[in-house]
A and B are shown apart, each in its own frame.
Chain A
């Protein structure tokens, strides 16, 4: 009896080990699949860019030696970056622009989904080469990393349809509850506004912007504050339950984040942004997303 019990125990252990091994193998498969779409979209490392004449020399850029430009991104910010519904393929204006940049540099582009509040520290610990995540250039951020400008985007306040609070500007948010995403420029703008409010506003922060919008939709807050294109799309897709007000059409540039010491990478990225502007690819991408107004001046 003792031995047969031991035998059964071993059998169970073995089955458990097998199941976990299978699960691990399945995970590995998924990883491989994740990488293929990006690989298909961009040409292989050694090919020359389509408009070969003014090819950018990337031989002195250590981050691109492996032929891959990896980008950290909080992929929950449609239409800037998001996963195509029902897939794990990233899409959006950021994704298209970085793919075009990768093409101009002759490297593959790989997106890595990262929470926005930890996106700068993760760049500093070399989780990826750049940040491509609708990141507005601010003095606080440029103290930590360098940013290469590529878009020019304003802010928008999202309110329930009919605008019951009659919110026309940021000052009208005083005394109300506003839902925003953690770590965004909107949190800073609201804190600045709060300093001038007689009645303080309550700022509720969430890990992702869709959760903040959900909080507005279910009445937990009176407004959501986000980048204009994002708030615009959220209003459009809300079946008329949400409405967009544009209190401060004060566009500020988005930048591709690089580590302070990545000076060569920063230079070739700036060259590549210029190259896709010159070739017309940049304008084509913006037109495709209906975001012509966000072009850099």
Chain B
């Protein structure tokens, strides 16, 4: 069995670092960046999607170019350009003081995410039957009113699963912000392991917390999907609903 764990693995180190304040602080950084960037990305993505399905040729072309540009380059390269490049370009102290690593990371991830969200929202809008728009207009609604009150609420349900995927991807992708010196979960683990050489031990700690975060958000996403399902029959069962069913004495799973 000497091929197994040929290089020693120190389980005590994993235990020591699992609740280390440095690691927990870094996890908060990961969550903050991901949540802020996702919120901004969704907002901007909706605007871009509406531009893309509009009848204004300038808006259509702009949104198309935007999506093309931000999807065509790796996000780590975008980070390097947005942080180092912008600071090199604008040698103004006021700008440099305000263009911090954290802000550059949030904005870059948000701008990148907006491109993907625009496509998801567009797909959602186009999944709603064209007749719905006609019906809304025949009631005297303007295009934007119809979009807001009729189309988007229905598109929303279609968009939930892919948006959840995007958020989970975002949580993990924040790790590339290390390129510009942001200390989030994986990189806090890297920094600690560089001092102690307990590399796999620290990677295990990071993996554990990513699993915990992603699991929690996956459960929340399932609940959200259940809550947004209109017909009782199609409503998907979730862990929580099954557990509640069991408690309430409902039969079967």
Contact = CB atoms under 8 A, between A and B. Distances in A.
A59 B191 CA distance: 40
Given A121-B7, A182-B190, A182-B194, A219 B96 contact: yes
B194 A117 contact: yes
Contact of A220 (B91, B101, B187, B191): B101
A17 B57 CA distance: 38
A207 B179 contact: yes
Contacts of B194: 117, 182-183, 187, 205
Q: Interface on chain A toward B: helix, strand, loop, or mixed SS? A: helix
A205 B181 contact: yes
Nearest to A177: B181
B197 A121 contact: yes
Nearest to B200: A121
B197 A120 contact: yes
Contacts of A94: none
B199 A205 contact: no
Contacts of B84: 214-215, 218, 220
A220 B96 CA distance: 8
A167 interface: no
A76 to B, nearest CB: 14
A124 B195 CA distance: 16
B200 A206 contact: no
A204 interface: yes
A223 interface: no
B181 A218 contact: no
A187 B191 CA distance: 10
A261 B194 CA distance: 22
Given A121-B197, A182-B194, A219-B96, A207 B178 contact: yes
Interface in B100-158: 101
Interface in B165-193: 178-181, 183, 187, 190-191, 193
B87 interface: yes
A290 interface: no
Interface in B187-235: 187, 190-191, 193-197, 199-200
Contacts of B178: 206-207
A140 B179 contact: no
B197 A140 contact: yes
26 contacts: A117-B190, A117-B193, A118-B199, A120-B197, A121-B199, A121-B200, A124-B7, A125-B6, A125-B7, A140-B196, A141-B197, A144-B197, A182-B190, A182-B191, A187-B194, A188-B195, A191-B195, A204-B101, A205-B181, A205-B187, A207-B179, A215-B84, A218-B96, A220-B96, A220-B101, A220-B181
Given A120-B197, A141-B197, 13 more contacts: A118-B199, A121-B7, A121-B199, A125-B7, A140-B196, A144-B197, A182-B194, A191-B195, A204-B181, A205-B181, A207-B178, A215-B181, A220-B96
